[in-house]
Chains A and B, each alone.
Chain A
Amino acid sequence: MVMLAETTDIQDRSIRAARVTQGLALALAVAGLASIGSGATGVSLFDMLDGLSAREALILWDIRLPRLAMGALVGAALAVSGALMQGLFRNPLADPGIVGVGAGAGLGAVLAIVLGGLLPATLGAWIGPQLVPFAAFLGGWAATIALYRLASRGGSVSVATMLLAGIALGALAGAVTGVLVYMADDRQLRDLTFWGMGSLAGASWAKIAASLPLIVPVLALSPLLARGLNALALGEAQARHIGIDTERLKRITILGVAASAGASVAIAGGIGFIGIVVPHLLRLATGPDHRFLLPNAALLGASLLVLADIFARTLLAPAELPIGIVTALVGAPVFLWILLQRRGIGGL
């Protein structure tokens, strides 16, 4: 009887998860349409339906669509990276920051902002405005590789060492960042502050094209890691016993997170909250099974960031609010409220 009850429970869950997936896909579509149809100029979807004027074409193709695409891409990448990290570290507080992506990318960005002027003129002109995203991506990637090396011994990666080394590396990156902040002038300081709060205002098709090959494969292939991450939840030894190559799993997961989270931090700056909260919300709704969690996280992360961006660019129009402020300001209280609602039902 007990076995039977558990089976139906699992079936219920997968039916529910499939419904949640459908609902989230619908939500993303609605958020996308809302995003295309709103903005400071007041040009609406209906205005666009009856043919595009030159101005409407500019607003649609050069402003709103790139923002929508970048918001969806970054939101999905952050949420999936968060879910992958939490699965790998078996810790609900893990996020891409733990593998050094955040600290490394932050250091890269600060280096580029403060010392970018020292580059030889020819190199500076060639890489130009893409220097900050490029340096952020390199920084995130370098930090992840360094951590991975630090935590590897005899072909096996100690997740606990990686966690601790990540904290140490974060402190080191923070100190170097501090030195650079001290060297920065007024304008650079303001640039740093705005970078840290994240924004999609610099959205462009070029940035999307550059980050697409790093983010989309991770989103598309992440469900292949689901079985391994589910097994890992039982413990590393247990996962090995049921035939999971845990070392390979760890390697692929870490590199995938470094690529997708690194690319999103590079193009959109520091956007908190999505990576940690989206997987939590979904676990509350459909349980911890990564087969459902990973695709749903991509959809929910994308929808939430697209939605947050609508607020970011309309609340203070014609100015705009850094999107990291919106995600935290709106998201954190909602998340707390959900936690308090669930407390009566029992634990996470």
Chain B
Amino acid sequence: MIRPSLASLHLGLIAGLGVAALATFALADTPKPRVVSLGGSVTETIVALGAEDLLVGRDSTSNYPESVLALPDVGYIRALSPEGVLSLTPDLILSEDGAGPVEAVAVLQAGGIPFVTMPGSFSAQGVLDKITSVAAALNLEAEGAALADKTAAGFAAAAARADAVTAPQSVLFVISLQGGRVMAGGEGSSAAGIIALGGGVNAVSGFDGYKQITDEAVIAAAPDVILMMDRGGDLALSAEDVQATPALAATPAAKAGRIIRMDGMLLLGFGPRTPDAALALNAALYGG
């Protein structure tokens, strides 16, 4: 089970302070900076720090909380339009790792706009690092420390629950069922991260990220629980969809009717809500 140790927390703080030194310099004379946020988890973190009023733009993956949908959308984080971002006259751009194209990022930097890339990984430490770095970039260290403490406490509670599990359940995360084929979350995926935090064991391994797996692999995985995203509307996978897919219907999970559906951004976003997601998943897996 992943638990934030004191040492790694300390490392995270040092990384955060490095970013802070940079950003403070840039924002010294801007009391209320105009901020463009790229990446759903960064946006969630900014809002959780109580800095939503600083936001003047977001990318297309930022859709929580609902109030940020009213902000101008600069498009997909990997296909930014430099002039589009400039048109929002930002003082600061906070981004998840991997914004692009590189030429667009270079133009924004040439325009003198600090472009700060946040660290992040699909772990408790990754979430805490992100909170510290975002807070530092916004000169909100006190709020950042409070949110990081609160989130770390949440992770600690989730970890305590996860550690108390005596018989871990194996969980198969199904992201889609295209044409009856199961696309599952493998090693290093955000799904694997949240399953671990929730005290479960990923039922499939041997591949990275999200892949379509064969029916036999599904049967061999024999998950105790099937986990899916609850996207609402027509896109949602229902329990009937699972029962209608022969390979899934043959699993212990489907036979026992153990199908868990959770909000996708909550489950996989790896932002400040992740402890809640871990606790909710733990409760769904083990009751209580």
Please, how many angstroms separate the alpha-carbon atoms of A39 and B82 in the complex? Answer: 10
Residue ID in chain B nearest A322 by CB atoms: B79
* Cβ-based interface call for A284 (8 A): no
A310-344 CB contact bits vs B (8 Å, 1 = yes)? 00010011111010000000000000000000000
- Specify which of A185, A186, A199, A320 lies most central, judged by the most chain B CB atoms within 10 Å of its CB: A320
B110 A62 Cβ-Cβ under 8 A: yes
Given contacts A55-B111, A129-B102, contact A320 B79 (CB under 8 A): yes
* Cβ-based interface call for B122 (8 A): no
Task: Point out the residues of chain B lying under 8 angstroms from A120, CB to CB.
Answer: none
**Nearest chain A CB to B246's CB is how many angstroms away?**
22
* Cβ-based interface call for B172 (8 A): no
A313 B87 Cβ-Cβ under 8 A: no
B210-225 CB contact bits vs A (8 Å, 1 = yes)? 1110000000000000
* Cβ-based interface call for B145 (8 A): no
B89-117 contacts to A, CB under 8 A, are 98, 101-104, 106-107, 110-111
Task: Point out the residues of chain A lying under 8 angstroms from B82, CB to CB.
Answer: 62-63, 201
Please, how many angstroms separate the alpha-carbon atoms of A129 and B57 in the complex? Answer: 26
Task: Point out the residues of chain A lying under 8 angstroms from B98, CB to CB.
Answer: 187
Residue ID in chain B nearest A190 by CB atoms: B78
Please, how many angstroms separate the alpha-carbon atoms of A316 and B83 in the complex? Answer: 12
A-B contact count (CB 8 A): 95
Task: Point out the residues of chain A lying under 8 angstroms from B212, CB to CB.
Answer: 182
Task: Point out the residues of chain B lying under 8 angstroms from A58, CB to CB.
Answer: 86, 107, 110-111
Task: Point out the residues of chain A lying under 8 angstroms from B208, CB to CB.
Answer: 185
Please, how many angstroms separate the alpha-carbon atoms of A115 and B218 in the complex? Answer: 27
Residue ID in chain A nearest B107 by CB atoms: A62
Chain-A contact segment, one of B68-76, B149-157, B274-282: B68-76
* Cβ-based interface call for B88 (8 A): yes
* Cβ-based interface call for B84 (8 A): yes
Given contacts A55-B111, A58-B110, contact A320 B101 (CB under 8 A): no
B183-203 contacts to A, CB under 8 A, are none
Please, how many angstroms separate the alpha-carbon atoms of A207 and B73 in the complex? Answer: 27
Residue ID in chain B nearest A312 by CB atoms: B81
A202 B86 Cβ-Cβ under 8 A: no
Given contacts A42-B87, A59-B86, A202-B101, contact A318 B211 (CB under 8 A): no
A319 B60 Cβ-Cβ under 8 A: yes
Task: Point out the residues of chain A lying under 8 angstroms from B79, CB to CB.
Answer: 194, 199, 201, 320, 322
Please, how many angstroms separate the alpha-carbon atoms of A17 and B258 in the complex? Answer: 72
A204 B81 Cβ-Cβ under 8 A: no
Residue ID in chain A nearest B75 by CB atoms: A319
* Cβ-based interface call for B159 (8 A): no
A318 B87 Cβ-Cβ under 8 A: yes
B74 A201 Cβ-Cβ under 8 A: no
B81 A40 Cβ-Cβ under 8 A: yes
B103 A201 Cβ-Cβ under 8 A: yes
* 21 sample A-B contacts, Cβ–Cβ < 8 Å, listed by A number: A39-B83, A40-B83, A58-B110, A59-B83, A63-B107, A129-B102, A186-B209, A187-B98, A201-B80, A202-B103, A318-B74, A318-B83, A318-B84, A318-B85, A318-B87, A319-B73, A319-B75, A319-B76, A319-B81, A319-B84, A322-B79
Across chains A and B, which 6 residue pairs bring their CB atoms closest together, nearest first?
Answer: A319-B75, A318-B84, A320-B81, A185-B209, A40-B87, A202-B101
* New contact pairs (10) apart from A62-B107, A317-B81, A320-B75, CB-CB < 8 Å: A39-B83, A40-B81, A40-B83, A62-B82, A62-B110, A194-B76, A313-B83, A319-B74, A320-B81, A320-B84
